[in-house]
């Protein structure tokens, strides 16, 4: 007799991957055949995950329509089962999937809109944490400041974009057809910083060098090294802006 874990694993394979032979042998037909019973669960599983994607990617759905969105979401769901029951964590690979999804080839900016929506969802749902106090950093001597490594606040995301995804996203969210029609969807490489604030989500466009500098800081490169790599006067000013806006988290020992 199979163990409970083996039964659960068989049903998971049957529902998520249509690898159903083993699961069908464990189902007792009672008015509805074993395959029919399993399909009920499979349909519920798929519709639940498609609904979760719709919650995260509403602008993507509005751009392509409900039918097209479902046509993209279903194969994504089939190949990417959730890693946990917390569905706010599901769908992080959807932008990459859309970038390779042949029917979306005529909309090359679609994947970037999805990247923005995923960053916004992650920023909105991130745990709270104390921000780094700029005064605490200023109290360090020059050598200590140069050796300091900063870490991004959990509610901040930095993404590299090839298209004007924020303008497209805002026009879609505001249902501004005139603005959407006036947009130039040609490539426009830049970085976008997404941050949860008390008044909602904030977005800050960064030029390529500004984003490269910020990415270095977010990766934990020492402050002195980062400033050496980016010697322009605008980078200390950008660092000061990040600190003033709470985009770095306080050291963990300071947050306990």
pLDDT of residue 31: 57
pLDDT of residue 45: 85
Report how far residue 42's alpha carbon sits from residue 57's, in angstroms, rounded to the nearest whole number.
Answer: 22
Report how far residue 161's alpha carbon sits from residue 247's, in angstroms, rounded to the nearest whole number.
Answer: 20
111, 66, 39, 20 alpha-carbon torsion, rounded to 10° = -20
150, 194, 87, 89 alpha-carbon torsion, rounded to 10° = -30
pLDDT of residue 128: 94
69, 51 contact by CB (below 8 A): no
Provide the residue-wise pLDDT of the chain in tens; the chain has 256 residues.
666 565 556 555 555 656 565 555 556 666 565 565 566 667 788 899 999 999 999 999 999 999 999 999 999 999 998 888 888 899 999 999 999 999 999 999 999 999 999 999 999 999 999 999 999 999 999 999 999 999 999 999 999 999 999 999 999 999 998 988 888 889 999 999 999 999 999 999 999 999 999 999 999 999 999 999 999 999 999 999 999 999 999 997 644 4
Give how far the C-alpha of residue 71 lies from the chain's centroid of Cα atoms, to the nearest Å.
21
Phi-psi region of 149 (alpha: psi -120 to 50; beta: other; left: phi over 0): beta
172, 180 contact by CB (below 8 A): yes
pTM for the full predicted model: 0.86
Domain segments of the chain as ranges:
1-106, 108-256
Q: Which of 202, 194, 235, 197 shows the shortest CA–CA distance to 216?
A: 235
């Amino acid at each position: 007799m199979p163990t409970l874990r083996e039964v659960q694993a068989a049903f998971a394979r049957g529902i998520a991957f249509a690898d159903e032979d083993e699961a069908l042998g464990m189902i007792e037909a009672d008015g509805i055949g074993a395959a029919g019973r399993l399909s009920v669960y499979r349909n519920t599983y798929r519709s639940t995950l498609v609904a979760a994607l719709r919650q995260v990617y509403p602008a993507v759905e509005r751009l392509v329509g409900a039918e097209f969105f479902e046509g993209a979401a279903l194969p994504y769901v089939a190949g990417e089962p959730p890693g946990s029951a917390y569905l706010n964590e599901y769908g992080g690979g959807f932008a990459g999937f859309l970038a390779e999804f042949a029917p979306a080839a005529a909309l090359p900016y679609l994947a970037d809109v999805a990247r923005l929506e995923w960053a916004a969802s992650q920023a909105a749902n991130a745990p709270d944490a104390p921000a780094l106090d700029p005064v605490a950093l200023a109290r360090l001597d020059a050598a200590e400041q140069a050796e300091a490594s900063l870490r991004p606040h959990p509610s901040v995301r930095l993404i590299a974009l090839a298209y004007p995804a924020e303008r497209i996203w805002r026009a879609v969210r505001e249902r501004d057809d005139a603005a959407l029609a006036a947009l130039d969807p040609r490539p426009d490489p830049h970085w976008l910083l997404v941050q949860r604030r008390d008044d909602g989500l904030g977005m800050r466009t960064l030029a390529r060098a500004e984003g490269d500098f910020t990415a270095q800081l977010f990766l934990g490169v020492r402050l002195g090294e980062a400033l050496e790599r980016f010697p322009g006067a605008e980078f200390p000013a950008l660092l000061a802006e990040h600190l003033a806006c709470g985009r770095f988290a306080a050291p963990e020992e300071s947050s306990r």
